Every structure is written in structure tokens, then in C-alpha cells.
Structure 1
Amino acid sequence: MQVMSSLVVLGLCFLFLVVKPDRAYGSSRGSLGRNNGAAAPAVDGICAISVTPYGYKCQEHEVQTDDGYILSMQRIPEGRAGGSMGGQKKQPVLIQHGIFADGFTWLMNSPEQNLPMILADNGFDVWIANTRGTQFSRKHVFLDPARPEYWDWSWDELVTYDLPSVFGFVFNHTGQKIHYIGHSLGTLIGLTSFSEGHQAEQLKSATFLCPIAYVSHLKTKLVRLAAKAFVGDHEPQSTATKNLVHLAQSVRDGVIQKYDYGEEGNRKHYGEAKPPVYNISNIPRDLPIFISHGGLDPLSDVEDVGLLLELLKQHDETKLSVQFLKDYAHLDFIMGVNAKDLVYNQIVQFFSKYQQ
């Protein structure tokens, strides 16, 4: 690694504040064989590790992005009791993890306490996404993850390639519009992608847990100092570098925009001196949205969530629900033992309002 600077401090802060370390820094054990989108055997995958031992059906899938990354997805098509939703087709739900996490993060609690299995038991067709570079999504059609070229991406590429690819995959398999759930970075890529209109014909509703569209009011001084000190003038390396650089730019600049390559680089990439801004207010005003955030969350700061809500002030108020839990922190939304009662049941009720 070339950069042993404030970016390292920033990365360590995110590691401490967000979730367990991303296994992108470990071995590539458990990568699945290619099968051109068909269900693959659940060997050494998330299904075999965390789902089927509890009596749930689970499928391993792979999705290829337009820029050649091969992503793993897990599908829990039904709950342990099976059945359907009153004779209706099961509604698909796509769950997107945050930074320093993968799909396994959602399954760390017991079946009675984790979101994917709760949704499956409530009659939903659950799909779990894993972004590029995570343990089970570390393949490419020709790039080697041991080489820097593989890691030359930030969350811009997750917006442009990963999320549209997994949406298209789920939509093609189910033929139905999709409920989206994002946590942390998963909210950022959802908000920006939906504002760009990428999933306009495939999206049924959106749930944002701990939204981090704005991160300019971070309460953690160490993170803020590291972000302000970092200038981002080195060659891209891994997700811990370029992706964190992009997040650091958001902290420093206080805007939601594409990756800043500097004036010369921006002209090359975007044809202008400054990177384009994502206009969150372009999200369709009639899209059902559920936002849940906590008062003890140093990353999804209350003031920053307020800025996001200000952008959504023209949204159809009957389609926007906001939940505030004053004693909840960032990890509580995916690992809290009372998250089922406080958050997940609310999500199920929210989805039930928008069934076919």
C-alpha cells in the first residue's frame, strides 16, 4: 500500500464505527464458480454457512456487471413454513449492505432476529446483494483481484454498474417490481442511483436505514480531521482507498457528487472542471420511501439526515415515512436484538401497504 496517511486513520474509524472488517482484505476463499446466472451449488457460500442450516431454502446466483465484475447473490425464496401471500406472488425484496460488510452481515443474528429471514417468514422473496470486492464477489471476466486495476472503482461504479445489474437480474427472474432496502453505504448508492433514473421501471419502494447521503456533520472528530486532511491525489488502489477517498470527499466538500479526480482528471472523465452533482430531488415524488435513523449514530448524523429530508420536501407526503429512534446507533439497525420489534416489523408493515 502506498498510502499510510490520514486515509488509513479514516479507514480505521469506519471499521470501528460501521461494522466488522470487510473480508476483501482477507483471502478469496469461497468464491463461486461461474454459471451464467443459473443457481449454483451452495458450497462454501453464504447460503450454506448462514441460511440452509436453519431450514430455509437458499439459492446462490452470480450476476455479471456491464464492466465485467461478477457478483454473488443469495435468494431466500420463502420462509421455513413455505406458502404464499394469500395466493399472490411473493414480492421480491433486494437487500444491500453497507461499507466494510457483505451479505453475510444481515445474517449474523438468529433467524428470529435477522432481517432477511424475518422477511422470508413474512412471505417475501428475499435477495441479498454482495458488492464487488467482497469475499464472495471477487471475480471478473479478465481482471485479477491481486492487481490494482481490479480495485479502480468507488461507489460511483456501484451506482452505475452493480446496483442496476442486480436489479435487472432480480426483475428478470421475478417479473415484478422490487422493494429495496439499503443500510449505510447501501442508502447512498440507492439514493443516487434512483435519482439518476436507473431503476425507474423496476423499483416498487425504497427503505433507507441509517442514510448517509450527507456526512458533513460527523460527530466523530477523528473521522472529520482525517477526511479534511486527505486530498486524494494518488493512483486508485483498493476499495479501502478509492471508495474511502470518495466518502472523504463528501465529508470534506459537503456535497453529493461523483468522484473528484482534480480539475485535469475531471475534464478527462466528465468534460468539466468539477465532478457532476447527484440531484437527490430527482427521485420520483410518488416513490414510497421509508427512512429510519438513530440518535446515537455518528455516521448517519441527525443534522445530515435533516439535509436529506430537506431535499425530499417536495415528495408526496403520503409516500414518505420517517422513523427516528433516539437510542439507536449505526449497527443496531442490522444487529440489534430488538431491531425486529422496533424496525423490521415497521418495514413489513410499510411493504404491506404496497402489495400488488
Structure 2
Amino acid sequence: MLLLQDGMTWLLNSPDQSLAFILADAGFDVWIGNTRGTRFSRKHVSLDASRPEYWNWSWDELAAYDLPATFDFVYRQTGQQIDYVGHSMGTLVALASLSQGQIANLKSVALLSPVAYLSHMNTAIGVIAAQAFVGEITTFFGLSEFNPKEKTIINFLHTLCANPNIDCYDLMSSFTGKNCCLNASTVDVFLRNEPQSTSTKTMVHLAQTVRDGVLSKFDYGGDFNVQHYGQRRPPVYNLTNIPKDLPIFISYGGKDALADVQDVLLLLDSLKLHDGDKLQVQFVKDFAHADFIMGVTAKEIVYNALVAFFKRQ
């Protein structure tokens, strides 16, 4: 599950450099998930993606329904417990779901560029966009679908690009930090396929996470929170509830502007009581956000360690 991306992102490099192929070659049965709203996941039993009702969800629903349903589906097909790999948004959803005990049939978890807290995010375009979403663009001109290829969103991005701190000639670095190890042709393929749609509500929810410094459910505002949750503040996801004996592999980067080192350390602090032999943490000094999923050196630096971790469980 990746924000504004679909499962193709795991397959952009050559087979010997893409994690999905590497896991398959190592003997794993690989399933790639697509977040709802992206091009491979726009159907619904009763709702149409052209209607606002379809887009009435944030990443709360991904954590509460989509990820558990994915695990259930894969388990029913294979009968085997699952090793999960998440990057960025895929780690946020997994952590939230795990903290509420909503995932079954899980063997181990790998979190690459883990996102739980975003209060130290230092990418200029991310900070400015978060301020916009929390403020006057909460309803975002009435749009329920956030489609980066739609004219209104393009105009919004152009407005952000007017800020002198933002280099819109290198949008990827503006969002992720300066990646060290991307192949130019891979980036070209990425930009031809991505970004994909998500719900505007998800973007607002992420902006709330940046602003509030806590990992909580969607904030509808005082009285509306009472209607939704029975309390004036949205419930907090308590990451200390994650089972302490769950094997977890975490890899994070020193140049990551989204999963900032200080925010990752906050996450690790919430896991400080985790069983010592069940938590493996890797710090890659030169990696930024996209290096973990598209970097040409990710296999040697990250994936080999990840595969070994899975095989030990």
C-alpha cells in the first residue's frame, strides 16, 4: 500500500534489483497489494469511482478493513502465515492495524522507510501541502478524489511550486529527500506510471498527522468526533499494543525527508519493550525515501538482510 502509487512500484527495476522478484527467486509466494482508488483497485460491490461516496475513506479504512481483508484472502488461498513488506504508507497502515489487533495469520513484518509520526518531516513541499490541507483546503474545492493528473490538483501543485524553497524541476526529491541511488531510466518508468489517485480525505488525514504529532484516527472536529467516536478527540493508535513477540525488521535512511530519522526514533521508542530477538533495525545513512523501493543498491544493502530475516522466522 503506497500513497499515490500502485503495486507496479515494486517492479520498476530489473528483476535482479526489484524486491518482488528477489523474494520470488528466494522461494516466497509473492502477492502485491494495490491501495483502493489506484488503477487496479477502483471497483466496488455497490459504489462507483466516479461518485463522491466511493472516496469517503482515509487510511483508517485501509487499516481497519483493506489490509486485514488482504491477509485473509491470501491466507485462504495459500493456507500459510504471511511475511509482510510495507514501504511508507504501507508501514503506516500496517502499524495502525497491528496496534488494534486486526491482522491475523501474520508471521513477520518488514517496514521500509517506516511512517508513523510525521512531525519532523522536512520536505518543503510536504510541509506546505500539509498546511494547505489542514487549513482552507480541507474540502479541497469539493473534490473527493485526489487525482494528481486532474487539472485542479495540477493547478494546486503549480501554486506550491511558486514557493522559492521548492524545486519543482525535481519533484521526487522535493517530496522524498535527495535519493542517492536511483537509476534515471527507472525514474522515467515511475513517472510514466505514477502517481495514482487517492482520497482527498487521506491527504487531509496525513496533514493532521503532521500537524498534531500523534498517530490518531481521522479528526472530524469536536462535535463530529463525538458522533463518530463518542469523544471530542479522535482515538489514538497505541503502538505499544503491537505484539511484543512479532518479528519486525525496520530499515530507515539518514537522508529521508518523509520518514525523518527523529520520527523513526519515536517509533522505535514505542517498540522499546519489544522482545530483543524479534526486532532487527537497520540504518542506511545515505538512503532517502525512494531508495528503499527503487534504489539500485537496495538489494545488497537492504533486501538481502530482509530476506535473511524472513527465512529465520
Q: Equivalent residues in 2 for 1:337-352 (5 A)?
A: 337-352=296-311
SS of the residue aligned with 2:32? Answer: strand
Q: Of 50, 66, 84, which residue of structure 2 is paired with 1:162?
A: 66
1:216 matched to 2:216: no
Match for residue 161 of structure 2?
none
Shift of 1:241: 1.3
Inter-CA distance 236–265: structure 2 relative to 1 (3 Å threshold): farther
Alignment pair present for 1:133 and 2:37: yes
Q: Which residue of 2 is the match for residue 147 of structure 1?
A: 51
User: Is the 2:55–2:199 Cα contact (8 Å) retained in structure 1?
Assistant: no
Structure 2 distance, partners of 1:307, 1:257, is 15
The one of 92, 103, 107 equivalent to 1:188 is 92
Alignment partner, residue 34 of structure 1: none
Contact 1:292/1:323 (<8 A) preserved: yes
Shift of 1:352: 1.1
- Over 4 Å off, 4+ runs: none
**Identity rate, percent:** 60
More helix by share: 2
Query: Quick check: 2:253–2:286 contact (8 Å CA) kept in 1?
Result: yes
2:35 pairs with 1:119: no
Deviation at 1:309, TM superposition (A): 0.4
Could you say which residue in structure 2 is the equivalent of 1:244?
A: 203
Report the Cα offset of residue 176 of structure 1.
1.5
Name the aligned partner's letter for residue 276 of structure 2.
Answer: E
**What does residue 152 of structure 2 align with?**
none
C-alpha contact 2:92 2:114 (8 A) present in aligned 1: yes
Contact 1:152 1:236 in 2 (8 A): no
Q: Could you say what the CA RMSD is over the residues aligned between the two structures, in angstroms?
A: 1.3
For the residue of structure 2 that corresponds to 1:187, the secondary structure is helix
Distance 1:198-1:327 versus aligned 2 partners, 3 A rule: same
Q: Structure 2 matches for 1:1-356, cutoff 5 A? A: 97-199=1-103, 201-229=104-132, 230-231=134-135, 233-234=138-139, 237-238=144-145, 239-354=198-313
SS at match of 1:129: coil
Aligned residues of 1:205 and 1:287 also touching (Cα < 8 A): yes
Q: Which segments of 5 or more consecutive residues in structure 1 lack a partner in the other structure?
A: 1-96
Write the distance in 2 (CA, Å) between the matches of 1:316 and 1:218: 29
Q: Secondary structure at the match of 1:351?
A: helix
Once the two structures are superposed, residues 258-300 of structure 1 have per-residue CA deviations (whole angstroms, 9 ceiling, x without a partner) of 0000112111111111100000110000000000011111000
Is the contact between residue 228 and residue 248 of structure 1 (CA under 8 Å) also seen in structure 2? yes
Please report the TM-score for the alignment, with normalisation by the length of structure 1: 0.70
Decide whether the 8 Å contact of 2:15 with 2:21 is kept in 1. Answer: yes
Amino acid aligned to 2:220: Y
| Greater strand proportion | 1
Task: Give the length in aligned residue pairs.
Answer: 257
Q: Distance in 2 between matches of 1:162 and 1:252?
A: 26
Deviations 1:49-89 (A, max 9, x none): xxxxxxxxxxxxxxxxxxxxxxxxxxxxxxxxxxxxxxxxx
User: 1:153 touches 1:236 (CA, 8 Å); kept in 2?
Assistant: no
The answer to whether the Cα contact below 8 Å between 1:236 and 1:242 also exists between their aligned partners in 2 is: no
For the Cα contact (< 8 Å) 1:153–1:243, is it kept in 2?
A: yes
Partner of 1:51: none
Amino acid across the alignment from 2:309: F
Higher relative contact order (CA 8 A, sep 6+): 2
Name the CA distance, whole Å, in 1 between partners of 2:102 and 2:262: 28
CA contact 1:171–1:177 (8 Å) conserved in 2: yes
